[in-house]
A and B are shown apart, each in its own frame.
Chain A
Amino acid sequence: GNSVTQMEGPVTLSEEAFLTINCTYTATGYPSLFWYVQYPGEGLQLLLKATKADDKGSNKGFEATYRKETTSFHLEKGSVQVSDSAVYFCALRTNTGNQFYFGTGTSLTVIP
């Protein structure tokens, strides 16, 4: 079956620290992979995506690489800011059937 597992939070970091949020997936076929971010009281915003193996998605200093050999799509940022505080969701989309599977979300708090 299809599923997404991401590291449990909450995660608390100091400003300018390095961020890694782990995400692994199980999927049949060749899914597309996404990271979404949710700020309090809002819907989810697409942060970055990768559609095939070895693709690197990047946006706003965040990046993640689609690793087929380890079935992973870890989110990284070199220097976090207070404004990055949010909940981050890893997700996959099946290429057949247009189904999305989300991880449980990881809450990140960045303190000054």
Chain B
Amino acid sequence: GAVVSQHPSRVICKSGTSVKIECRSLDFQATTMFWYRQFPKQSLMLMATSNEGSKATYEQGVEKDKFLINHASLTLSTLTVTSAHPEDSSFYICSANSPDRGITEAFFGQGTRLTVV
């Protein structure tokens, strides 16, 4: 299957700082990328969907000014958690597909464990 790489895998930051998480599709051009948040022993919560070159579509309840998503190229999307607080600590996962190119299944990154102290 296709490969999606997420970086970093773990990050610890101080409260009030910003953190950027990268999601790269390594062997295909991803027209759509999805960002999820996962709490311990819980399912995935979709935060936003981004299409290359367009503004991300955020799910209800997700603050777009706090969780900045950029999808500037067909191989890279970034999620920036601005002014992070301890309650933002979580496991963040990206996925990507390209349905207009026949890649309908979503391929996931390895996830990023964010800890805000």
Contacts and interface: CB of A to CB of B under 8 A. Distances in A.
A43 B6 contact: yes
B97 A46 contact: no
Given A93-B106, A100-B34, A102-B44, A46 B111 contact: no
Interface of A is mostly: strand
Interface of B is mostly: strand
A28 B117 CA distance: 44
B65 to A, nearest CB: 24
A53 B99 CA distance: 20
Interface of A: 32, 34, 36, 41-46, 49, 51, 89, 91, 93, 98-100, 102-105, 107
B111 A43 contact: yes
The size bracket of the interface on B is: 20 to 34
Contact of B105 (A89, A93, A103, A104): A93
B43 A104 contact: yes
Contacts of A102: 43-44
